[in-house]
Structure 1
Amino acid sequence: MVTDRLADGVRIAELLASEVTGNESDLRGLAVVDADREVEPTADGALAYRIAREESGTDEDATETVAEVYVQPDRVRVEAIAAPDAAAEAARAVDLRARPKAVHPPRTLVFVEDGAGVKRALAVLEAVGNASGEE
């Protein structure tokens, strides 16, 4: 039985970024942008990178941020900017903890607390990407 679990926020964020950039089918059109390669985790969360959708029909540099990824010492917080309702529903479906953030426009916070949660977080990002592409 494996008793070790990955609970290092920076490493979890790296795994998530790697999965996003390497998953060409389900996350087509989403990319990691504005990455801070030397991010230091904080209790409130330090912005590690944004996840953006390339806008079709515009020049190749145009992107829309759909989520932001923040690093805390022992976890990652994904803030769904686009389609917060879709993010909340997808998080519940894959058993990730999520809660609304009372800002304008509203966001949904999704917590990835270990390395095993990274694959489940991809379903959340897929839902956000798909829902934001329909708007």
Structure 2
Amino acid sequence: MVEERLTDGRRIAQFLASEVTGHEDDLGSLVVTDADADVEPTPDGAFAYAIERRPAGGRRTADEQRSDEGSTERVASVYVQPDRVRVEFERAVDAVADAADEAGLRVRPKAVEPPRTLVFVEDGAQVKWLLSALGTVATAVEE
């Protein structure tokens, strides 16, 4: 039996990005943007990339979407810490909190205006647990 766990924050962030871009069905409206390929983890969390939602329609690459000014909205930001990833959700924060909590992830509200939900992903296996929260924000009704 394999006892290894993926607990490197940078690797977890890379795995999460590949899950977002690789799920054409449930997460087809999400795209990774503003990625910092050279991000170095910090204790407070270094910005790694944004997750944006595109309007209904065909899936396009991140470069194509960036060229369409105003065609996407940021729904989450991903921050890399040495031993985990912090995903800061900006949309559908209550529904995301419920979905992530039900999946067994550590969730915390962020008391800012507008409110945000923080979800902590502490190993590679938990990336799969985050998919339900990402699905929630991918299909959330425009506010």
Q: Give the conservation status (yes or no) of the 8 Å contact 2:26–2:138.
A: no
Asked if 1:91 corresponds to 2:100, the answer is yes
**Deviations along 1:28-76, whole A, 9 cap, x unmatched?**
210000000000000000010000011348x952210000000000000
Q: Which residue of 2 aligns with 1:29?
A: 29
1:79 and 2:88 correspond: yes
Are 1:113 and 2:102 an aligned pair?
no
Which of structure 1's runs of 4+ aligned residues deviate more than 3 A?
Answer: none
2:137 is aligned with 1:128: yes
- Could you say what secondary structure the match of 1:67 adopts? strand
Gaps of 5+ in 2: 58-63
Query: The residue matched to 1:14 in structure 2 has which SS?
Result: helix
Q: What amino acid is aligned across from residue 52 of structure 2 in structure 1? A: A
- Secondary structure class of the residue paired with 2:124: coil
The letter of the residue matching 1:79 is E
Distance 1:55 1:63 in 2: 7
Amino acid at match of 1:98: V
Does structure 1 retain, via aligned residues, the 8 Å contact 2:5–2:123? yes
- Unpaired stretches in structure 1, ≥5 consecutive residues: none
When the two structures are superposed, what TM-score results if normalisation uses the length of structure 1?
Answer: 0.93
What is the aligned partner in structure 1 of residue 9 from structure 2? 9
Two-structure CA RMSD over aligned residues (Å): 1.5
How far did residue 92 of structure 1 move?
1.1
CA distance in 1, matches of 2:44, 2:93: 20
Report SS of the residue matched to 1:11. helix
Q: How far apart are the structure 2 equivalents of 1:56 and 1:3?
A: 42
Identity %: 64
